[in-house]
Homo-oligomer: A and B are copies of this chain.
């Protein structure tokens, strides 16, 4: 029997990335494809066009996740799932997320071409809203699938324009018609996600594939400050309740507290909104996001627990509310999955190194309900969440080859 990895087509995989990148293409070569946007819908329709000739069955669930199934010989056996996400950051690149979905498609196409009919079905999934930039927090679809968040909680989240997930999902379903619905969740035998590293290590160390050992923990917060609008020319500093000055003071204090000499803590204020945001009006309201990560769960808990207190201490004359949006401790993938990925790569002559994921991924939630693992490939200089994000076609193919081998093994395994 021929090996499925032999049928991975480097050019086809690359060209599909370039095609996907046209949905939401930016002038600077990046991609803006926010979750449940018309561009996201166009990417989903493209997936249907590629999957149909392979005989894959498309379906969607109540959380807006989309699946493409290669049916196994035993339809009752829990499936093997692979994939990632099609949504991007507002100024995102061509590879983050998309690679996991298209590597899954390439692996399945290779399995079909090799004449292999696996026992278990294999599902390629595109999770809804991994990025969390339009609707916060991210990884919504996988969280709903794994039961980590209630569907109703997710559906009522609003974007900056006040549009709910529920209504954006309805619009997406209209733009991607005639896709059968499947129940949310269900038993999964194993989950494998391929992704660009989003860091510089594999490239520097010259490996085309990394076996991901675990995922760094992350807590996210929203800080809302209420001050009072006043005239920039007439109100004295003593009278002011300047919400932006309070925000500055909080962020500086947090940075001082959280930044460590070893540069391990990741503390980011990525979003900050000022109201009324007019040059000659003292800001009445400011809200900002906090993204806090640390590989050691105890440290993540300790540091995150300081945030509300620090913000309250630096609110000055303003009111402040700190809300925790998500909390995920650091995790380690099971040895069985890491070994399987490492051994499959060895078998087809792909050198691997173990690597820790500093970024969060949908695999985080799947890890809670089934044996999960991840395959990383290098990305150019580690640049990501950026229009300049790039990867090599040969590395992408190596990742898809390892994935194809792992999927076949998992899909034929009994337990």
Contact = CB atoms under 8 A, between A and B. Distances in A.
Interface stretch (A59-67, A73-81, A342-350, A380-388): A380-388
Nearest to A245: B255
Given A229-B385, A234-B198, A385-B229, A291 B284 contact: no
B232 A281 contact: no
A259 B237 contact: yes
Interface stretch (A49-57, A146-154, A268-276): A268-276
Given A231-B198, A385-B230, A279 B272 contact: no
Nearest to A261: B237
Given A237-B263, A272-B244, A384 B90 contact: no
A120 interface: no
A11 interface: no
Interface stretch (A110-118, A131-139, A304-312): A131-139
A234 B359 contact: yes
Q: Copy number in this complex?
A: 2
Contacts of A172: none
With most chain B CB atoms within 10 A of its CB, the pick from A89, A132, A229, A271 is A229
A257 interface: no
A49 to B, nearest CB: 29
Contacts of A29: none
What secondary structure prevails in chain A residues at the interface with B? loop
Nearest to A258: B237
Interface in A211-264: 216, 218, 220, 228-239, 242, 244-245, 248-249, 251-252, 255, 259, 263
Interface in A352-381: 358-360
A33 interface: no
A278 interface: yes
A91 interface: yes
A233 B219 CA distance: 11
A142 interface: no
A123 B386 CA distance: 55
A283 interface: yes
B233 A266 contact: yes
A377 B391 CA distance: 66
A282 interface: yes
Interface size class on chain A is 35 or more
Nearest to A197: B234
A146 to B, nearest CB: 20
Contact of A276 (B91, B216, B230, B237): B91
B238 A263 contact: yes
B273 A90 contact: no
Nearest to A96: B231
Interface in A158-217: 197-199, 216
A359 B231 contact: yes
B198 A382 contact: no
Nearest to A359: B233
Interface of A: 89-91, 131-133, 136-138, 197-199, 216, 218, 220, 228-239, 242, 244-245, 248-249, 251-252, 255, 259, 263, 266-284, 289, 291, 293, 358-360, 382-387
20 contacts: A89-B229, A90-B276, A91-B229, A91-B276, A131-B280, A197-B234, A216-B233, A229-B385, A231-B358, A232-B270, A232-B291, A233-B293, A233-B360, A238-B263, A242-B268, A248-B248, A268-B280, A271-B277, A271-B279, A272-B272
